[in-house]
Structure 1
Amino acid sequence: MDVPENNFDRLMFFAAARETSEANYERDPLDADNLTRWGGSLLELSQFQDGPECLMMVKEAILRLEKALEINPRKHDALWCLGNANTQHAFLSADQEMAKAYFSKATDCFQKAVDEDPENELYRKSLEVTEKFAQAPDLHMEIQRQAVSASPAAPASNTKGSKKKNKKKKKKSNDLTYDICGWVILAVGILTWVGMAKSHLPPPSSLT
């Protein structure tokens, strides 16, 4: 995992937040706030992973958030985080029908969050943007096309110039995916950061 230096503090913070949430869960598995922070931390950490590892972490985040909602079905911040997790899962899915299903789940979560907290502009914006994604299958197809075109499929005998070209393509695809998914993760990090203040963890310098 290649982490830019300016993101290292952020990575370490959310790794510590995850560990704290795991420890708190052992003491109280029915703490919906803790489960929500745990899910938010996993979503943040997924941004530092590639491929299967990223998807696995998103799926784990979904499990934690769904557990929080089993305890408190009207917990709007958990509903909102779950909407973000499902949105990210949709973008990570290569199957268009499956992506559509996750967009639908995300829209449902965001709508419920808005119903519980109608004045929350972040919830309303999330609902608005996800509805647009759900209605634009071409966007999902373009992301997948970029990902495929960036895959290093060339043989080992390729020239140095070809390798550089493939590397640039891969970076361009990664940047595109991050730009689209970035809005999903940013506020999740802020939410988790604020929540973890109760655990007396120092905030990462990149968020100050």
Structure 2
Amino acid sequence: MEMSNDFDRLLFFEHTRRTAEAIYAKNPHDAENLTKWGGVLLELSQFQNGPESKQMVQDAIDKLEKALVVDPRKHDALWCLGNAYTSSAFLIPELEEAKVYFDKAAQYFEQAVELEPTNELYQKSLEVTSKAPGLHVEIHKHGLGEQVMAGGPSSSSTSTKQQSTKKSKSSDLKYDIFGWIILAVGIVAWVGFAKSNMPPPPPPR
């Protein structure tokens, strides 16, 4: 069931990415589309292996920065950028180097909160990002850094079930960390997708 859910998510995000690419080809200055594209690239990065995942996160950052060039006050693009820099930081083994990315993430979260002070998701992201360096230490202390670089939570879920209880606990920690980053971005991508002109899928029979 879990595999099916992951596959469905992958199909959905890949379809959203292709839609965003097509819209960009017609209008490269659509900030909403660039934000959606960046968010979905961030989602898809979790299905990739280490180097591919890092490259996809960087692509997401590029798209989101373009969105902010078009509309500097686009709070959801700022928030997604915070998530992208957080994701990048967790992929970096050295804490000092990772802290640079965590600091950037915090700055973007702060800007998003300033523009939308009542948004609880933005507030939560800003609150949790202060704990991110400590989580980074836990990840790499338990050897999860290598797992993250080898593949995202989705691709490694089957193998982790066959490992020891200690590694299962480590896997739970990884899910906790990526949960607020990636699933939250998924909500944004889903909402953006739902707002597009495409008709909703027919109800199951």
For the criterion TM > 0.5, the same-fold answer is: yes
Which residue number corresponds to residue 176 of structure 1?
Answer: 173
Describe the superposition over 1:62-88 as per-residue Cα deviations: whole angstroms up to 9, x where unpaired: 111011011111100000000011111
Matched, 1:122 2:117: no
RMSD value, Cα: 2.5
Partner of 2:21: 22
Give the 4+ runs in structure 1 shifted more than 2 A. Answer: 145-151, 169-179
Rounded Cα–Cα distance in structure 2 between residues aligned with 1:8 and 1:149? 24
CA distance in 2, matches of 1:94, 1:53: 16
* Alignment counterpart, residue 200 of structure 1, candidates 178, 198, 201: 198
What do residues 84-122 of structure 1 show as CA deviations (whole Å, max 9, x unaligned)?
A: 111111111112111100100000000000000111111
Could you tell me the percent identity over the aligned residues?
57
Unaligned regions of 5+ residues in structure 2, if any? 148-158
Distance 1:150 1:101, change over 3 A: closer
Change beyond 3 A, Cα 1:11–1:22 = same
Alignment correspondent of 2:31: 32
For 1:20 and 1:182, how far apart are their aligned partners in 2?
25
User: Shift of residue 145 of structure 1?
Assistant: 2.8
**Residues 20 and 199 of structure 1 are in contact (CA less than 8 Å); yes or no, is this contact kept in structure 2?**
no
Count of equivalent residues: 187
Q: Distance in 1 between matches of 2:140 and 2:199?
A: 38
C-alpha change, 1:199 and 1:173, in structure 2 (3 Å) is farther
In structure 2, the CA distance between the partners of 1:120 and 1:50, relative to structure 1 (3 Å rule), is same
Verify: 1:142 aligned to 2:141, yes or no.
no
Secondary structure in 2 aligned to 1:4? helix
Pair 1:148–1:121, CA change in 2 (3 A): closer
1:49 aligns with 2:45: no
Seen in structure 2, the aligned counterparts of structure 1 residues 150 and 175 have a Cα distance that, compared at 3 Å, is: farther
Q: Runs of 5+ in structure 1 lacking a partner? A: 152-163
Report what 2:150 is aligned to.
none
- Give the structure-2-normalised TM-score: 0.82
Alpha-carbon distance, 1:129 to partner = 0.6
Distance in 2 (CA, whole Å) between partners of 1:48 and 1:174 is: 16
Correspondence for 1:188: 185
CA distance in 1, matches of 2:176, 2:115: 29
Seen in structure 2, the aligned counterparts of structure 1 residues 69 and 202 have a Cα distance that, compared at 3 Å, is same
- 1:19-74 CA-partner distances (Å, limit 9, x unpaired): 00011111000000000000110111111122111111111111110110111111
Moved more, 26-35 or 46-55: 46-55
Q: TM-score, normalised by structure 1?
A: 0.81
**Is the 8 Å Cα contact of residues 150 and 173 (structure 1) preserved in structure 2?**
no
Alignment partners' CA distance in 1, 2:56 and 2:13: 13
Contact 1:14 1:45 in 2 (8 A): yes
Kept after mapping to 1: 8 A contact 2:41/2:56:
yes
Quote the offset at 1:199 in angstroms. 4.0
